């Protein structure tokens, strides 16, 4: 979905026209480590790029088992970790080919 600049900690960081946000991407625990999440991400990123997005933004939380490591393996890098009570980590990935 288009990023809507609603998150106060990163407000103004991303251009809405060129930034997509990946929201609510989960794989059931019993289906993890089978490559499903990676396959979904590999299908999604080219679609976002084809729609004109240059950056994919997401946020996740350290309390979610394996989430930060998964996104790092997909090439996402840390933008900001505010060390808040939700253990939020803001990440992004440039979509250039």
Q: Got the DSSP string for 8-76? A: GGGTTSS-TTTEEE-------GGGTTSSHHHHHHHHHHHHHHHTT--EEEEEEETTSTTHHHHHHHTT-
65 found inside a domain: yes
> Mean of the pLDDT values across residues 44-56?
96
Q: Does position 66 have pLDDT exceeding 80, yes or no?
A: yes
Q: Which domain holds residue 71?
A: 8-94
* pLDDT in the model for residue 97: 63
Which CATH number belongs to the domain containing residue 34 in this structure?
3.40.630.30
Average pLDDT value for the chain: 93
More confidently predicted of 31 and 55: 55
* pLDDT in the model for residue 27: 85
pLDDT (tens digit per residue) in 17-37: 999 999 988 888 898 889 999
């Amino acid at each position: 979905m288009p990023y809507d600049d609603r998150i106060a900690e990163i407000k103004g960081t991303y251009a809405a026209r060129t930034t997509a946000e990946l929201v609510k991407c989960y794989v059931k625990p019993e289906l993890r480590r089978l490559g499903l999440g990676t396959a979904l991400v590999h299908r999604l990123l080219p679609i976002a790029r084809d729609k004109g997005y240059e950056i994919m933004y997401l946020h996740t939380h350290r309390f979610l088992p394996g989430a930060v490591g998964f996104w790092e393996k997909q090439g996402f890098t840390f933008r900001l970790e505010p060390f808040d009570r939700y253990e939020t980590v803001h990440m992004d990935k440039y979509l250039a080919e």
